[in-house]
Structure 1
Amino acid sequence: MIKNVSVIGAGTMGNGIAHVFAQAGYAVVLVDVAAAQLEKAVKTIEKNLDRQLAKGSITGEQKKQTLQQITIETDLQKGVTAADLVVEAATENESVKLELFKQLDAAAPEHCVLATNTSSISVTKIAAVTKRPGQVIGMHFMNPVPVMKLVEVINGYATWAEVSGMIIGLSEQLGKIPAVANDYPGFIANRILMPMINEAVYSLYEGVAGVEAIDTIMKLGMAHPMGPLQLADFIGLDVCLSILNVLHKGLGNPKYAPCPLLVNMVASGRLGMKSGEGFYTYAHGTKELVVSEKFR
């Protein structure tokens, strides 16, 4: 039975995951090496709870209880000592995750399930560096975590059926809708999404249409809430590139090769919303979309 949850990484995904677990009544330890990042994460969670409060979806007491469920920790070993479930939400880098799971395996209790929020890296490969591969699973939340309903549950080659069933049930308890995928590059969400984003970048690169036209066509013609280039900015162009490289390497198919324009944008530091500029610019202080000067 899961009572104590440790979330590793206090970035955008980590603080969102901590938020939904705490709001569902679980005791959460949010772990990050940077104390400043942890403080920022707690402020973000409080801000998001205030949004829910303003909309009437939670009460003031529920906000208070949610925040009380969260503790912060900079020491990984201390942070997972009592964990029944660890959800890793560190940077999308294979070597970082493999090293982290070795440490988690050594520090977490024997019964503890180790989940990764990876969006593309092999769960089987991550599990293989532990002594508990049957208890390793993918639990891929969508951004923004408190709002998005989907949890993509990824079974590694060795994941026990009972662990998979438990994570499916847990996702439902969080108010999410789980969908199960097997462990192949990109799983389902990104195996379909990233080629679409890549094709949108290719369409811009080849001069088929401009940024606004591409996004408008997909929003109005395909009923997408956000155009693919805006979505790429929101995800982070570096993350998109990383996932495409995983798909290209893992499947060996040239159709997954990242567009040279995307490669150059990442190399130049234009990573989308988080850097202030990608296909759009975000330094103007309004919610209005402004196309980057590079593409006007």
Structure 2
Amino acid sequence: MRIRIVGAGAMGRGIAQWAAVGGHTVELCDVRTEAVTAGVDFVRSMLERAVHKGRMSAEDSAAALERLVPLDDPWAPGPEVELVVEAVREDLDTKAEVFGKLEQALPESAVFATNTSSLSVTRIAASLRDPGRLAGLHFFNPVPLMKIVEVVPGAATRPGIPPVLTALVESCGHRAVTVADTPGFLVNHAGRGLVTEALALLEESVADPAGIDRIARDVLGLRMGPFELMDLTGLDVTAAVIDSIWQGFRHEARLRPSFLTPNRVTAGLHGRKTGQGWFAYGPDAPAPAPEPPVTGDAGRPVFVAGEEGDALRGELT
């Protein structure tokens, strides 16, 4: 399959690596030519790392890079393009403009997919002459490692498109889950509790970001705390998702966005990609403070309520 990926940021280049390794020809493009160059260099470095660690042969790495085609013009004619994956910023008008231009440039047979993490797929598709050709295909960062992909049919998506996207995802070694076109879909809706509550704890000065992350890792068993996760994803992206889900659920109180995020986004404190987020990154960043080992004897209180409380209390003691 020939796939055009529009947007060469963190998500776009990750999708490009995943698809090229999966055997597909990938056109990587962006309105910023420097982003395309950086994206290709990034994919090359990731493949070289995979070879160095013995996860891929040098021949397979070279073949994947051969299938990665940098494209200067996102709106260039592409008669052989079968699928477009859009991975631009999380803004409805921007995405609608991108697909409007692609609709002019590419054949009617090309399937359109948006990597939106929270916007309505139906609303994005509504701007097209043929809204039935578009569905959501939501990857998670880092794409090569995060194995789940949400396939999101909009209200007008043709029935044959989700199975095609599912087959593509699974043929490249990931797991496809078809979900409804609701705010945040499945994973981001479920995950709002962690980030929203972490920000609420910080608002109330319960603990600092490092302390909250440590609790999440040690007590919840997560590989990464919520503030580390926001820095990896990008606070600009996370804040947009939080706002979108809150608005989509008609300002549900439990999903209220934090007042901490807008100013940090405006200040460019987006995380790893800007060198400074909740934590500092880069060669000049201070090393993380040493953490004492978790001994398991902290004697944390556990409160049990409900009719089955006695049985559950017995299991916990």
State the Cα distance separating 1:28 from its structure 2 match. 1.1
Unaligned segments of structure 1, at least 5 residues: 292-296
Equivalences, count: 289
Instruction: Note the alpha carbon deviations across 1:163-194, whole angstroms, 9 max, x for none.
Output: 10111111001110111111011111111223
| Structure with bigger gyration radius | 2
Change (3 A) 1:117 1:288: farther
The answer to whether the 8 Å contact 1:120/1:186 transfers is yes
Q: Percent identity?
A: 35
* Equivalent residue number for residue 281 of structure 1: 280
* Equivalent residue number for residue 188 of structure 1: 186
* Equivalent residue number for residue 313 of structure 2: none
Q: Distance in 2 between matches of 1:103 and 1:19?
A: 25
Larger mean CA deviation between 39-48 and 249-258 belongs to: 249-258
Change (3 A) 1:287 1:98: farther
The answer to whether the 8 Å contact 1:194/1:240 transfers is no
Q: Distance in 1 between matches of 2:169 and 2:214?
A: 34
* Equivalent residue number for residue 25 of structure 1: 23
State the Cα distance separating 1:84 from its structure 2 match. 0.4
2:274 aligned with 1:255 = no
Change (3 A) 1:200 1:58: same
Unaligned segments of structure 2, at least 5 residues: 291-317
Change (3 A) 1:84 1:181: same
The answer to whether the 8 Å contact 1:80/1:104 transfers is no
The answer to whether the 8 Å contact 1:197/1:228 transfers is yes
The answer to whether the 8 Å contact 1:80/1:86 transfers is no
Q: Distance in 2 between matches of 1:227 and 1:288?
A: 17
State the Cα distance separating 1:58 from its structure 2 match. 1.1
State the Cα distance separating 1:158 from its structure 2 match. 1.3
The answer to whether the 8 Å contact 1:73/1:79 transfers is no
1:232 maps to which of 225, 230, 233: 230
Q: Distance in 2 between matches of 1:284 and 1:79?
A: 42
Change (3 A) 1:220 1:108: same
SS class of match (2:50): helix
TM-score (norm 1): 0.93
Q: Distance in 1 between matches of 2:131 and 2:187?
A: 23
The answer to whether the 8 Å contact 2:121/2:154 transfers is yes
2:118 maps to which of 120, 132, 135: 120
Q: Distance in 2 between matches of 1:222 and 1:120?
A: 25
SS class of match (1:193): helix
Letter in 1 for 2:54: G
SS class of match (1:246): helix
State the Cα distance separating 1:132 from its structure 2 match. 2.3
The answer to whether the 8 Å contact 1:155/1:182 transfers is yes
Larger mean CA deviation between 274-283 and 217-226 belongs to: 274-283
2:143 aligned with 1:133 = no
Q: Distance in 1 between matches of 2:45 and 2:286?
A: 18
Q: Distance in 2 between matches of 1:240 and 1:290?
A: 26
Instruction: Note the alpha carbon deviations across 1:226-263, whole angstroms, 9 max, x for none.
Output: 00011111111111111111112111113222111122
* Equivalent residue number for residue 48 of structure 1: 46
* Equivalent residue number for residue 267 of structure 1: 266
* Equivalent residue number for residue 110 of structure 1: 108
The answer to whether the 8 Å contact 2:140/2:149 transfers is yes
Q: Distance in 1 between matches of 2:78 and 2:183?
A: 29
Q: Name the Cα RMSD after superposition.
A: 1.7
